[in-house]
């Protein structure tokens, strides 16, 4: 009945407009598809009614279409180069990997970072590294940040925080639970993962950027061989290692090293963190893991520290890597599990 009334009002409105065009009634014109001339006033009236009708239908249907959920994403698919921000005219992008089996609804953000360099590669090349998580039902996002040497460590931290906000703001579109986000990274990627776990916030309601109002918190962290205190790593530190000269990102002022060291941000509300170190790592010594484990212990944050005694920075050895994958997947399973009803 309501639709009938709306259509009637639209018709009467179009007829009123047609009367106003009476000065056309004595003129004739040839219209496409018609062999006989028709009065121009009549033609205009028909057009006005059709336009009004289309507007009514759109007004009735579009709100329902906009509210409809997006179509399910194909399992096993890769959606490359999703743009989560811009800087200096450049796009910040991430790739989305869907699990080949039934998705469990949780998401893992993988930090594409080594030495705070973040390079693009065909997404298919990264898939074997992510397969253990995809095979466990996780949707994985490979996040690229603004890369060294052009961009600094503080800028990389801000980028990955924005990536978390972006994925969370699009959780329905990506078919993931916004409360079940984990982060994973190795070396510099592990540092960024710990920064996300220790500095997550609930968003700024006064932010001018819409994404700034979205929380950046995560629910679980897996950090492999991460530097946890940059105060001993930046070039001007008396404790820096000669190898660190190969990483321009560490040409960072000491006053910026502390604020970008996860060990200094540990508070009781941090995400549970699994940290895995190599006992023979000469680049990021295992003491970095012990430092943050001590901070987690002091602040009663759930955590686990594993040190492979014979492993270097690459956590070499088939047994070590098998253990690393088993522990990482188990950690995510424990802290990103579906809530029980």
> Structural domains in the chain?
2-67 (no CATH), 78-335 (3.40.50.1820)
Averaged pLDDT, 73-82: 88
pLDDT for 312 = 98
With a cut of 60, say whether residue 71 has pLDDT above it.
no
Instruction: Work out the pLDDT band at 76, boundaries 50, 70, 90.
Output: confident
Cβ contacts of 319 within 8 Å, gap of 6 or more: none
Angle at the Cα of 144 (from 77 to 172), degrees rounded to 5?
50
Quote the tokens at residue 170: 């699009």
Angle at the Cα of 162 (from 173 to 261), degrees rounded to 5?
140
With a cut of 60, say whether residue 21 has pLDDT above it.
no
CA distances from 114 to 69, 79, 187, 341 (A): 37, 23, 6, 40
pLDDT for 101 = 83
Averaged pLDDT, 164-181: 98
Contact 163, 109 (CB under 8 A): yes
3-state secondary structure of 1: coil
Averaged pLDDT, 265-288: 98
Cβ contacts of 311 within 8 Å, gap of 6 or more: 278, 279, 280, 281, 317, 320
Spatial distance between the Cα atoms of 126 and 140, rounded to a whole number of angstroms: 11
Q: E strands of the chain, at which residues?
A: 28-29, 38-39, 78-87, 90-97, 107-112, 139-144, 181-186, 220-224, 273-278, 303-308
Spatial distance between the Cα atoms of 38 and 63, rounded to a whole number of angstroms: 38
Q: Report the share of the chain in percent with pLDDT over 70.
A: 78
Closest CA to 50 of 25, 73, 18: 18
Choice between 45 and 138, residue whose per-residue pLDDT is larger: 138
């Amino acid at each position: 009945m309501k639709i009938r009334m709306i259509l009637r009002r639209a018709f009467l409105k179009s007829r009123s407009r047609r009367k106003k065009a009476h000065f056309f009634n004595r003129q004739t014109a040839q219209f496409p598809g018609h062999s006989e001339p028709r009065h121009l006033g009549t033609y205009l009236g028909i057009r006005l009614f059709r336009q009004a009708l289309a507007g009514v239908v759109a007004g009735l249907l579009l709100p329902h279409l906009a509210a409809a959920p997006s179509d399910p994403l194909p399992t096993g698919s890769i959606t490359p180069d999703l743009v989560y921000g811009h800087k200096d005219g450049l796009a910040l992008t991430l790739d989305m990997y869907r699990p080949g089996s039934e998705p469990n609804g949780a998401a893992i953000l993988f930090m594409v970072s080594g030495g705070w360099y973040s390079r693009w590669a065909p997404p298919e090349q990264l898939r074997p590294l992510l397969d253990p998580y995809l095979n466990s039902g996780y949707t994985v996002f490979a996040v690229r940040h603004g890369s060294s040497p052009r961009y600094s460590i503080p800028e990389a931290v801000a980028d990955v925080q924005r990536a978390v906000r972006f994925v969370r703001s699009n959780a329905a579109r990506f078919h993931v639970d916004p409360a079940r986000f984990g982060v994973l990274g190795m070396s510099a990627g592990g540092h960024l993962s710990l920064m996300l776990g220790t500095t997550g916030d609930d968003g700024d309601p006064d932010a001018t950027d819409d994404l700034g109002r979205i929380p950046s918190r995560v629910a679980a962290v897996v950090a492999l061989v991460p530097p946890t205190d940059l105060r001993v790593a930046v070039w001007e530190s008396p404790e820096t290692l000669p190898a660190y000269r190969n990483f321009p990102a560490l040409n960072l002022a000491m006053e910026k090293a502390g604020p970008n060291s996860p060990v200094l941000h540990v508070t009781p509300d941090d995400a549970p963190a699994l940290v895995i170190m190599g006992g023979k790592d000469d680049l990021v010594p295992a003491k970095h893991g012990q430092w943050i484990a001590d901070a987690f212990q002091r602040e009663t944050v759930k955590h686990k520290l594993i040190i492979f005694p014979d492993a270097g920075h690459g956590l070499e050895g088939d047994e070590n890597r098998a253990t690393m994958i088993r522990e990482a997947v188990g950690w995510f399973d424990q802290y990103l599990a579906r809530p029980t009803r």
